[in-house]
A and B are shown apart, each in its own frame.
Chain A
Amino acid sequence: MTETSDETGQGIPAPEGASDLIDTDYEIGQDNIDGNVGPFGFDIHNPVFLISGLAIVAFVFYTLALPDQAGAVFSWLFSAVTKGFDWFFLGAANLFVIFCLLLIVTPLGSVRLGGADATPDYSYIGWFAMLFAAGMGIGLMFYGVSEPMSHFSSAMGGTAVEGGARTDWAPLGAAGGNEQEAIRLGMAATIFHWGLHPWAIYAVVALALALFTYNKGLPLTIRSAFYPLLGERVWGWWGHLIDTLAVFATLFGLATSLGFGATQANAGLNELFGVPVGATTEVILISAITAIALISVVRGLDGGVKVLSELNMGLAALLLLFVLFVGPTVAILTGFVDYLVAYVQYLPALSNPVGREDVNFSQGWTSFYWAWWISWSPFVGMFIARVSRGRSVREFVICVLLIPSLVCVLWMSVFGGTAIQQVVQDGYTAAQDAPLELKLFKMLEQLPLAGITSLVGIILVIVFFVTSSDSGSLVIDTITAGGKVDAPVPQRVFWCIFEGAVAIVLLLSAGGLASLQSMVISTGLPFTVVLLIMCYAIYKGLAAERQKR
């Protein structure tokens, strides 16, 4: 007698329906080494775990031993990448958006991740909370007020030309002196950086990984998406290289933003409670964030990561509603529609990859952002893939591309819109003048219950870091275990602590954070090529699924 879930209604979701498994001799975990370190078990991919671990240590040492040289090398690399390849980033990101939109409307969108009859692993709310918290939660806290404000101010300032080149930072042709148009242009530029393009970048990576894992039966790791291109070679050095690069970008991306986040949270705490600013407070903050992340990863995906993500989304929604109703409600709501129209109106010009006159804006802002989102995409994409089984491709793209974009528009309209109204209507410029990390709090100061809302703001900042840190540790652990999602728990504990330790070491060294962050963003260039190949792989993979049905 055998008994499966179709009898009990639980356990395995009964036959999953047609899918097109790739026939490979590779067995997941065949290159792994397992054993014990003291009492703790491990099961790691050889050589990805060792190479990426050692390379990370080597880079940290290099940055610490030769800070000036490392700083110079990485900032040159960063500038060469974002300035020299701006056309490539902008063009590629446009392609990703078009590719995703096409998936919604073509028959390929009906393919289901996990087989034709698979059922979703998570409810809409849990799923959405997790992909948002991992994807950009923290950025919204810092840039929700500051970015619309920056673009608004520079657009108001008009253009400045020196030696035939624009020296101002305004988007497109600016809107010198025209307040209403400067607001629209500023909001459109902000939404451009937080809307369709970044989410299309995440969606491409996530879809490629989910497809090749759940429908093709390959391990949950970045290299699997290259199977259509590289074939069996993907299990060799090509694959090792791709996976190592992904671990590298993820860990340094997380560690550097953890380091910067700690300095920003410290500034906020200082403003609110007079907590002293300095290395001691920041190290305590990083340790606390890492400790909470540690509890979360040990509790696992459902008991830790999902719970924290939902908690955070709930808090963020409360703060959003509070500002919406207590702030200039009518202006925000009419603004929301107006900014959305402005976004669509300015989108062709903003996304144009060649012949741009607003070089400071298109290279310093857009190209930087695209490189940044792309360098984060292996991490966020893999995490989204992990939790997206059972969704159809069309549902997946709508929920990963369109809905988060709309939420970002709403967020920016509420937070940025309120701060801009404070300047325009009330002449209150504290938020405009404040440094980046304080803008949100200066804006909240003008609203009632500022003490409570600022505290909620600080908690959100900290918990958003935790939700990036814990999901990042899970992703790195899975990649370095050769795609095994059930590797021993001490391994994810190791990565979580390692990430906090790297952040602390970099924080304590002068300029270490900035130079390594430049390096991370530079990895956006090779990953853009990776993403383009993924689009091809997704197309091939989906077409094969369709034929199978």
Chain B
Amino acid sequence: MFKKIMVPVDLAHADRLEKALACAGALASQFGAETIYVGVSAAAPSSVAHTPEEFAQKLSAFAKEQAQRHGITTGAHAMTSHDPATDLDPTLMKAVDETGADLVVMASHVPNIADYVWPSNGGTLASHAKASVLVVRDS
């Protein structure tokens, strides 16, 4: 049903993604789909990596680790953004096109009042992406 699954990951908070990662892994093995992990970083050093290059390496390592854990085929797709705090939505939209994914599995928090002002990234992607989007709540 699905050939390529895109999973946006925040490497700084990978611990909060367990449920979405497990879900993506299960779907990928069910459909024999390739899973692409997408990470977005700024060019400036962050808690994850000092350079965009190092960030891409860490994302690749993460993808390989997921491949072993779930027994699936994985890939990594790193993106840079000038201002990730505000540009995450358009960057992820671009990633959907670039990876050619037909399903996005994405972790998101339980909505609260702030979502009326700043919709969650998962919510925005579900509203605008052409691919199917599965938003996995973190609770």
Contact = CB atoms under 8 A, between A and B. Distances in A.
Interface of A: 1-5, 8, 10-13, 15-16, 19, 21, 27-30, 38-40, 114-115, 121-122, 213-214, 217-220, 298-304, 386-387, 389, 483-490, 492
A386 B86 contact: no
B42 A486 contact: yes
Contacts of B63: 2
Nearest to A8: B98
B51 A302 contact: no
Contact of A485 (B44, B53, B76, B79): B44
Interface in B34-53: 34, 36, 41-47, 50-53
B66 interface: no
B45 A218 contact: yes
Contact of A303 (B55, B87, B95): B87
A21 B80 contact: no
B72 to A, nearest CB: 12
What DSSP secondary structure best describes chain B's contact surface?
mixed
Interface string B100-119: 00000000000011110010
B77 A39 contact: no
Given A3-B36, A3-B77, A217-B50, A483 B86 contact: no
Given A220-B45, A299-B86, A386-B44, A21 B79 contact: no
B3 interface: no
Contacts of A11: 77-80, 95, 98
B24 interface: no
A4 B98 CA distance: 11
Nearest to A303: B86
Contacts of B123: none
Given A4-B78, A39-B112, A21 B51 contact: yes
Given A486-B42, A486-B46, A1 B73 contact: yes
Interface residues of B, number: 41
A300 B88 CA distance: 10
Contact of B51 (A1, A115, A487): A115
B29 to A, nearest CB: 17
A302 B43 CA distance: 14
Contacts of B77: 3-4, 8, 11
Contacts of B80: 11-13
Interface in B63-90: 63, 73-80, 82-87
B56 interface: yes
A302 B75 contact: no
Count chain B CB atoms within 10 A of each CB in A2, A28, A217 and give the residue with the most. A2
A214 B83 CA distance: 15
Contacts of B137: none
B84 A213 contact: no
A107 B19 CA distance: 53
23 contacts: A1-B34, A2-B63, A4-B78, A8-B77, A11-B79, A11-B95, A12-B53, A28-B46, A214-B44, A219-B45, A299-B86, A300-B82, A300-B85, A301-B86, A301-B87, A302-B87, A303-B86, A483-B45, A485-B46, A485-B83, A485-B84, A486-B46, A489-B86
Contact of B45 (A12, A28, A121): A28
A548 to B, nearest CB: 14
A486 B87 CA distance: 10
Given A11-B79, A13-B80, A486 B85 contact: yes
Given A3-B36, A214-B44, A300 B87 contact: yes
Contact of A16 (B51, B75, B84): B51
Given A3-B36, A16-B52, A16-B53, A489 B85 contact: yes
B94 interface: yes
Contacts of B55: 12
Contact of B86 (A12, A220, A300): A300
Contacts of A122: 82
- Nearest first, the 9 A-B pairs at minimum CB distance are A300-B86, A217-B50, A39-B114, A301-B83, A29-B47, A300-B83, A486-B84, A39-B112, A2-B60
Contacts of B113: 38-39
A12 B56 contact: yes
Contacts of A386: 44
A303 B41 CA distance: 17
A320 B74 CA distance: 56
Contacts of A28: 45-47
A220 B83 CA distance: 13
Contacts of A29: 12, 46-47
Contacts of A300: 82-83, 85-87
Nearest to A220: B44
Nearest to B49: A217
A10 B98 contact: yes
A209 to B, nearest CB: 10
Given A13-B80, A484-B47, 13 more contacts: A2-B75, A10-B79, A12-B55, A16-B53, A27-B47, A39-B115, A114-B43, A217-B45, A300-B86, A483-B44, A485-B46, A486-B83, A487-B85
Nearest to B34: A1
A114 B53 CA distance: 11
Interface in B4-22: 12
A381 to B, nearest CB: 15
Contacts of A213: 44-45
